[in-house]
Structure 1
Amino acid sequence: MRALLDVILLALQLYVYILIAAAIFSWLIAFNIVNMRNQFVGTIGEALWRLTEPALRPVRRMLPNLGGIDISPIILLLIIFFIQRVILLYVYPAVY
């Protein structure tokens, strides 16, 4: 059972890295540092969008409209950190 919890924690940590990469990538696009017409950049952007959008969409629906500021990745990161702490502090010690 601990091996399953370790895999879940590893997947959550990997998703945190993907969320951070997607946020940085969106900033690079917003400030015109990278060009989305480049095929390689477009492929990376599409992959990051497809990986993060299913989790960010429900968070965005619950948040009020803040204009051009998107804080949904921060909220999702806090939720993931909370789940990781619950697993580490309460579930993991109870499993033999």
Structure 2
Amino acid sequence: MLSLFQILMLILDIVWFFIIAHVIMSWLINFQVLNLNQQFVSQVWYGLNRLLEPLYAPVRRILPNMQGLDLAPLVVLIAVYALRIILANNIAMFY
């Protein structure tokens, strides 16, 4: 059962990394450091969007409209971190 705990923590770490990469990439695109006309950049961008949109969409429906400020990644990051805390505090259940 310990391996199940480790797998769950690994999945949460990967989701955390993808969200951070998505946020940083969105800043770089908005500040015109990265150009979506480049094939590699656009493929990575659209791939991250397709992976993370199922996580962001329910949060965006709940959050009020912030006129261009998207807080969905922040809320999802907090949720991922909370899940990590919950799993770490209940590790005894995995033994």
TM-score tier by shorter-chain length is: over 0.9
Alignment of 1:1-96 (within 5 A): 1-90=1-90, 92-96=91-95
What's the CA shift for 1:30?
Answer: 1.2
> 1:9-55: per-residue Cα shift (whole Å, max 9, x none)?
11101110100000111111111111101111111111111111111
Scaled by the length of structure 2, the TM-score of the pair is 0.95
User: Unmatched 5+ residue regions in structure 2?
Assistant: none
Structure 2 counterpart SS, 1:94: helix
After superposing on structure 2, the runs of 4+ consecutive aligned residues of structure 1 that deviate more than 2 Å are none
Letter of the structure 1 residue corresponding to residue 49 of structure 2: W
Aligned Cα root-mean-square deviation (Å) = 0.9
Scaled by the length of structure 1, the TM-score of the pair is 0.94
Give me the identity figure in percent: 35
Letter of the structure 1 residue corresponding to residue 43 of structure 2: T
> 1:44-83: per-residue Cα shift (whole Å, max 9, x none)?
1111111111111111110000111111111001111111
User: Unmatched 5+ residue regions in structure 1?
Assistant: none
Letter of the structure 1 residue corresponding to residue 28 of structure 2: L
Distance between the aligned counterparts of 1:94 and 1:45, measured in 2?
Answer: 38
Aligned residue pairs, count: 95
What's the CA shift for 1:95?
Answer: 2.7
